[in-house]
Structure 1
Amino acid sequence: TVDGNDIRTLNVQHYREHFGVVSQEPILFGTTINNNIKYGRDSVTDEDIEKAAKEANAYDFIMEFPRKFNTSVGEKGAQMSGGQKQRIAIARALIRNPKILILDEATSALDTESESVVQAALEKASKGRTTIVIAHRLSTILRADMIVILKDGMVVEKGTHAELMEKQGLYYSLAISQDIKKADEQMESMAYSTEKNTSSIPLCSVNSTKPDTDKSEDSIQYKETSLPEISLLKIFKLNKSEWPSVVLGTLASVLNGTVHPVFSIIFAKIVTMFENDGKASLKHDAEIYSMIFVILGIICFVSYFIQGLFYGRAGEILTMRLRHLAFKAMLYQDISWFDDKENSIGALTTILAIDIAQIQGATGSRVGVLTQNATNMGLSVIISFIYGWEMTLLILSIAPVLALTGMIETAAMTGFANKDKQELERAGKIATEAVENVRTIVSLTREKAFEQMYEETLQTQHRNALKKAQIIGICYAFSHAFVYFAYAAGFRFGTHLIKAGRMTPEGMFIVFTAIAYGAMAIGETLVLAPEYSRAKSGAAHLFALLEKKPTIDSYGQEGKKPDVCEGNIEFREVSFFYPCRPDVLILHDLSLSIEKGKTVAFVGSSGCGKSTSVQLLQRFYDPVKGQVLFDGVDAKELNVQWLRSQIAIVFQEPVLFNCSIAENIAYGDNSHVVPLNEIKEVANAANIHSFIEGLPEKYDTQVGLKGTQLSGGQKQRLAIARALLRKPKILLLDEATSALDNESEKVVQHALDKARKGRTCLMVAHRLSTVQNADLIVVLHNGKIKEQGTHQELLKNRDTYFKLVNAQSVQ
């Protein structure tokens, strides 16, 4: 109940408008920071947005971007670091000015400096509103009016922090293990530190550095016009492996094309046959011609069947092959290629679903129809010239008009096909984003906004379609009308020729029927022109994709594949910027050596280059300057697949696939079919086995799209199990335990400690309790190493690390 009302009796939209939600894995939409915050509430001013950003401690890092609030966050917020995403999501929740604020692990993705400031901002924001906080880190809820401890879906304890500490129950044991008492004592004396001029840089921002110009529209137009011109021959070459089918289909088409000209001769003879007075000869002739018609019918039946079967088969095999090639080409592109907003999910799925289907419009059964019509027209003209060249020339003089209307129609269709493609890609992107992030949209009550965005995107395509309909209508009307004008002129001229004795009635009917069928064939060919133009447009996009060679070829066999990977890693004077944001250096001359079997932790504020270093190790990108070495060998000299097979990673936001738990874990090692006992073994090591066994379908339980059926901690443990299955030499942990509650974290931390033995391990962490036991702790700031050493050594330095530790009370 809310205010004494059962929530089922309240209007859903109105009810949800009073909520502000910040979830553990914040979802941002592929637009600007400004628009993302605006999704919180309609009709907000720029001042409101700035105020919300300041309250969420996001203002400073936003103002460092060249385009400030107009910076694009990328698809799913991929151009922002975890902490930056979280703060934008908090600003979005605060701008709603909600009566009820729900914080589901709202500060889990933040580094210590930011966390303390954001925590203060959230505490300020929660004044005067009902706030529900879900937390694993008890330091974030010390000042709550009531703390409720849940176990197995039931309330086991509730009260304030002080009351629960006195009870010495479940809360007390959690607090002790998190060293809250010490934090409690420090709470009064510790002032919240502000985020000191941290250069928070997004992973990659695709916008222009000029603040007032948005080149996105221009770049789309430019890309469209700069696509290569694809010839019909190049499209046909794609079908060359099906040549026997194509040859048989073509022969059948040629045969089909000869049927109509032959029919025109027989038809003219039948019409003139009725001039004969002899009834006996009339019956005899009728029987012969009727039999010829039957034979023509049988020929048609067989040849059309062969044409349809073999061309259809060749076309479908081609479509399947192209879809496979296109998907494969996408999978093996550079990661930087996906950073480009032209290659959004919507655009890429459009290539697979629509473009390739359209290519069939210029191949397959359509080629059969073209061959058939060309044969038909060619033979018709030859026969017509034999029986009456003067009349044939007259009728053919109208043919250029038909050809011209066909050309206009094709040109118009090609132009519209390209424009439609752009609009449909944008619409597809909006639809995909909306369906994938439906929970966020519903909680923000922004269904209407997405509905309108989708409708507006379709409007342009709708207007194009209306223009297209007018052009096609005029061309269609012209071509059909002129056929009848040709009849009128032909009959009048034919009568004159018969009178003058330069032509027989039979000749006139042959010419007329042959040319009429020829004209119909031209008409049919013109109808196919739009499909051909769409096929050319689709083929241009496909070939652009297939011919795009990645700089880091993860499919190639070249490169060294050493027999043994020791696990020694070295960053040698590495400098790096993201290809789509060359004006901002993320790493500056980073040099670091990691010995095999050692555990190294990277700590520092959001956007300092921690996750970037992990991506360079996996060779998602190559350094702009310097080298990343594995066992003394430059990563560029190693085979990419071999290199990645030696590495396992557990991300901050784990990605699961829409299949069963067992299949998700088995994805860790695709070199063989993984037996269930091996899956159970790693699940046990990641502390998820007992939870899975408690499910009705156990390991066959479906995790849902992106793992939505599981909680954050459960997803994280599945991802850890998947990583352990690889038996990697190098283990990368990017905030691997940030989503876990205290109990699980201890067990998983223990499992990870076990898993790290004998392996080189690189950890990225905000929570310093997870890195105390590391052999080396590296503090990064603005892409440079500020200090490095063990936990104890760094504490003695009393520098950045010492301050971070103090803020987290980890000593």
Structure 2
Amino acid sequence: MGGVINVLAKFTGDTENKEFLSQMSHPALKLIGMYLGQSVFTFFYIFMLTNLGEKVAYHMKSDLFKSVLKQDIAFFDAQRTGEIVNRLTSDVQDFKSSFKQTISGGLRALTQIMGCTVSLFVISPKMTLITLLCIPSVIAVGTVFGSLLRVISRKAQAQVEKTTAVADEAIGNIRTVRSFAMEDQEGDLYVKEAEKTMVLNEALGFGIGLFQAGTNLFINGTVLLTLYLGGYMLSSNQLSAGDVMSFLMAAQTIQRSLAQISLLFGGVIKGLAAGARVFEYINMEPSMSLKGGKTIPDDILRGDIEFKNVTFAYPTREKQVILENFNLLVPSGKTVAIVGSSGNGKSTLVALLERFYDVNNGLITIDGHDIRTLDPTWLRRHILGLISQEPILFGTTILENIRYGKPEASDEEVIMAAQNANAHEFITNFPRGYHTMVGERGATLSGGQKQRIAIARALLKDPRILLLDEATSALDAESEKIVQSALDEARKGRTVIVIAHRLSTVRNADVILVLHKGNIVEMGSHEELLKLKGYYWALTYQQHQQPKAA
């Protein structure tokens, strides 16, 4: 461009311009070549950067989700679902956007700054040195500002998590919200959290705006200084008109690049904070691995279960001991029912056997093997079958919900499992049969239907040990009778632990245990325990409003 300006200055006022085109063609062609090269490289780097950004986001999401799935159950006890989902969505998106903008704008800006700085030194070292004297102070101020804004950005993103969690809970439990007419209160709670988010983001915007305003003031002052010095050196014949124009264009390119970097500053701050939160979960190591350990060969597997001096308290409330020096032996092929009032540790036994948590002291064994030495995935996939009080179904077809228990199962195996769970008849009555969509969490099915699908899902993997955690307590009498019939069929040939609050479901158990404050206070058959007139008799009386032996 400087060459073009020199040719123009040379022929200014010259009416005889026969040589103008020949002298102008060389710098003009060079300039056109530069513009074409710039266009090609602009396309190349934007296309490549888009691919790179999407791959980075893909790997971050994949690694984050896999890491979350591997975390201990205690992690999910402490974290709200909305906060975890927010890191998977908003934080990854913020990091991707910041990454692409920073690399795109930042790489171009830094390259132009370095290239144009070299050009400035070539054109006029004296003017360049004078112009660059103020830069160190700007860098120092920017560093201090950056650290302050990073703190605000982290607080803002943490508040976004809280806001998302409130919305997630309200929407996920909309039936409960609606049944208690709590729409206004949930709305007010969300607005309150959203307002805190707004205030923090406004503070972040104020700080970024202040930084960018100061940066622009410095940059514009630098251009003014360049014009003043350039004019002086032009008047004293130290520089040509083309050199002054070249210097000014290079300085303006640096100005635009610095302005671009200052604009990127806010995005970089937000991206760094988002990336730190994502990698916090990615790098988090669970205390118990999902895979690794020994397995018991099928030909010698019996299904004996023993709790030996087990002491346990939940990680989220370590001072409240649920089980203390607890002992229990469940022989293979037997059905043991555990009853007692709420809060006495019944469901805790199932959670420990599933190894959702590890015991604080003592050990739990299957066929004499400490379950901590067994492969957890093998244990849950092949040995244990859990049917809980509130079965959770996925928003897909009935066929796929049952097949969840054994992904490689054929349609015939799925249908057989449904028949064993007394579910085949009601499934085939649906217009689309096994291909009926159940809705989110099985919302379109009744409680009894959901429970029978859950039983079929558990039976499909043919577990050696069946765990029934209040499996019929949420059902009406008719549904309970059908589901209980399916459970009685499922128990044959298996070791079964039945956790029950409703005593009508445990009459046929081989042994009934009464749990009170984490200890076994009574043990025996239904008739034997009634004769004792102790805890079990009292529970029976409470449920029937009159003693059996009246």
TM-score, length of structure 1 as denominator length: 0.64
Cα drift, residue 786 of structure 1: 0.6
> Of the candidates 182, 191, 195, which is equivalent to residue 446 of structure 1?
182
Residue 181 (structure 1) aligns with:
none
Q: Report the CA distance between 1:362 and its aligned residue.
A: 5.0
Which residue is 1:323 aligned to? 61
> 1:405: how far off?
6.1
1:656 to 388, 393, 398: 393
Call closer, same or farther: CA 1:767–1:469 in 2, change over 3 Å. closer
Of 297, 300, 303, which residue of structure 2 is paired with 1:563? 297
Partner of 2:325: 589
Partner residue of 2:474?
A: 739
Distance 1:268 1:345 in 2: 64
Matches within 5 A, 1:133-148: none
What is the CA-CA distance between 1:601 and the residue it aligns to? 0.5
**Contact 2:337–2:499 at 8 Å: present in 1 too?**
yes
Q: Distance in 2 between matches of 1:498 and 1:379?
A: 24
Q: Secondary structure at the match of 1:372?
A: helix
Aligned length: 542
Offset, 1:530: 1.6
- Equivalent position amino acid for 1:679 in 2: V
Q: Distance in 2 between matches of 1:466 and 1:537?
A: 17
- Report the equivalent of 1:290: 28
Q: Give the Å deviation of 1:471.
A: 2.7
For the pair 1:378 / 2:120, whether they are aligned, the reply is no
What residue in structure 2 maps to residue 163 of structure 1? Answer: none
Q: 2:235 aligns with which of 490, 495, 499?
A: 499
Q: Tell me the amino acid that sits aligned with residue 386 of structure 2.
A: I
- Alignment of structure 1 residues 596-635 onto 2, 5 Å: 596-635=332-371
Q: CA deviation at 1:795?
A: 2.5
Q: Which of the pair is proportionally richer in helix?
A: 2
Query: Is the contact made by 1:273 and 1:282 (CA closer than 8 Å) also made in structure 2?
Result: no
Which secondary structure state, in structure 2, belongs to the residue aligned with residue 357 of structure 1?
A: helix
Local SS of the residue matching 1:279: coil
Partner of 2:81: 345
Describe the SS at the equivalent of 1:360. Answer: helix
Q: Are the aligned partners of 1:388 and 1:508 in contact in 2 as well (CA < 8 Å)? A: no
After TM superposition, the structure 1 = structure 2 runs for residues 532-551 of structure 1, keeping only pairs within 5 Å, are 532-551=268-287
Secondary structure of the equivalent of 2:159?
A: helix
Report whether the alignment pairs 1:718 with 2:438: no
Which of 527, 537, 542 aligns to 1:802? It is 537
Secondary structure in 1 aligned to 2:444? coil
Q: Secondary structure at the match of 1:280?
A: coil
Contact 1:414 1:530 survives alignment (8 Å)? no
Structure-1 separation of matches of 2:54 and 2:385: 39
2:38 counterpart of 1:303: no
CA distance in 1, matches of 2:523, 2:197: 57
- Between 597-606 and 465-474, the greater mean CA deviation after superposition: 465-474
Give the aligned partner of residue 417 of structure 2.
682
Amino acid across the alignment from 1:803: A
Note the alpha carbon deviations across 1:284-303, whole angstroms, 9 max, x for none.
23333332232222211211
State the match for 1:20 in structure 2.
none
SS at match of 1:585: coil
CA contact (8 A) 2:6 2:240 kept: no
Alignment CA distance shift 1:477-1:307 (3 Å): same
Alignment of 1:510-529 (within 5 A): 510-529=246-265
In structure 1, C-alpha distance between the alignment counterparts of 2:25 and 2:214, rounded to whole Å: 41
State the Cα deviation string for residues 54-97 of structure 1 (Å, max 9, x = none): xxxxxxxxxxxxxxxxxxxxxxxxxxxxxxxxxxxxxxxxxxxx
Partner of residue 702, structure 1: 437
Distance 1:542 1:279 in 2: 66
Cα distance change on mapping 1:273 and 1:685 into 2, 3 Å: farther
**Letter of the structure 2 residue corresponding to residue 384 of structure 1:** L
1:390 alignment partner in structure 2: 126
In the other structure, the counterpart of 2:514 is: 779
Counterpart residue number, 2:159: 423
Kindly state the Cα deviation for residue 280 of structure 1 after the two structures are TM-superposed.
2.2
Instruction: Determine which of 454, 479, 488 is the counterpart of 1:753.
Output: 488
Matched residues in 2 for 1:655 and 1:528: separation? 45
Q: Is 1:458 aligned with 2:214?
A: no
| Identical residues among aligned pairs (%) | 34
Change (3 A) 1:403 1:276: farther
* Unpaired stretches in structure 2, ≥5 consecutive residues: none
Aligned counterpart, 1:483: 219
Structure 2 CA distance for partners of 1:484 and 1:747, relative to 1, 3 Å:
closer
Q: Residues 689-735 of structure 1: CA distance to partner in whole angstroms, max 9, x if unpaired?
A: 22122212221221111111112221111111111111100100011
The answer to whether the Cα contact below 8 Å between 1:406 and 1:526 also exists between their aligned partners in 2 is no
Tell me how far apart the structure 2 counterparts of residues 433 and 272 of structure 1 sit (CA, whole Å): 72
List gaps (5 residues or longer) in structure 1.
1-263
Write the distance in 2 (CA, Å) between the matches of 1:701 and 1:609. Answer: 38
Assess if the C-alpha contact under 8 Å between 2:160 and 2:197 holds in 1.
yes
- On the 8 A contact 2:208/2:266 being kept in 1, the answer is no
- Assess, with a 3 A threshold, how the Cα gap between structure 1 residues 595 and 265 changes in structure 2: closer, same or farther: farther
Distance in 2 between residues matched to 1:427 and 1:457, nearest whole Å? 5
**Root mean square deviation, CA, Å:** 2.0
Cα 1:273–1:628 change in 2 (3 A) is farther
What's the CA shift for 1:474?
2.8
SS at match of 1:785: strand
**2:530 partner amino acid:** L
The farther-off stretch of 272-281 and 468-477 is 272-281
Return the letter of the residue paired with 1:681: M
Is the contact between residue 334 and residue 550 of structure 1 (CA under 8 Å) also seen in structure 2? yes
Q: Is the 8 A contact 2:340 2:346 kept in 1?
A: yes
